[in-house]
Structure 1
């Protein structure tokens, strides 16, 4: 497997094994990350996000496929199945990841998924009827940001 394809494979294999340290090491010091919930994270924030998500997940299952990459960019499909802690509802999120690489590491990572589909599963009726609205999106984003900020302020977190 060529270099950047191997990087993507290592990232998701580590994710499957709940090895956030390896995931963090695969990011470039100037990395950025964005998805429909966690937007415009810098390298420190994205590393903390994966640590937070993995250490708080009780039943997370990750699968991945369709890895493709060249000298500078790559893509992957991945699925996350888990129980959303706020509601106790089971979620199966289908995600498309896009990467850019520098010095053999991930410098830009963008995940896309259907927010309305996610919100219907995670939030139930409110997600079904309002999950497509900016109000719900912004509330979910604010809650996620607050959780990440709190996680990063912990005494045992660098």
Structure 2
């Protein structure tokens, strides 16, 4: 399968909330990183997508500008959803940079404007505090706790 086909399969599956098909695109040694979750290994990455899919009753995913060259690829994608903690609508625009090994995604880095996201998710508090290292640190710690709690509740 081409790298473009892998990217399209991953984000098409995400749009359809098809976790097994998403996970099938990942190498067992995958590393995921973004401004909210930080750096995650395979197990935590898979659980993160599962948590986001299950929490996102109104989650809409779209993607375009899929590119690939050599062992690298990229895609621009977006997520529209209601942030469960505040009930506020979020439209996050993300640029994903991917690296491939053995026909799978081995490195997945999502980049987006965290301050913009905090403004949508938290409103005025996000506008005033969302850019600060303190807020970012607290947010990441809370998200990590939520992920670990989700993983514990959903163990096989």
Instruction: Give how far 1:21 is off.
Output: 1.1
Q: TM-score, normalised by structure 1?
A: 0.96
* Distance in 1 between residues matched to 2:130 and 2:55, nearest whole Å: 24
**Aligned twin of 1:87:** 86
Q: How does 1:1-158 map to 2 (within 5 A)?
A: 3-154=2-153, 156-158=154-156
RMSD over equivalenced CA pairs, Å: 1.0
SS at match of 1:132: coil
State the shift of 1:139 in Å: 1.2
Question: Match of 1:18, SS?
Answer: coil
Q: How many residues align?
A: 156
Q: CA deviation at 1:157?
A: 2.3
SS at match of 1:40: strand
Q: TM-score, normalised by structure 2?
A: 0.97
Give CA deviations for 1:92-124 in whole Å, capped at 9, x if unaligned: 000000000001100000000000100000001
Structure 1 residue runs of 5 or longer lacking an equivalent are none
Unaligned runs of 5+ in 2: none
Deviation at 1:70, TM superposition (A): 2.2
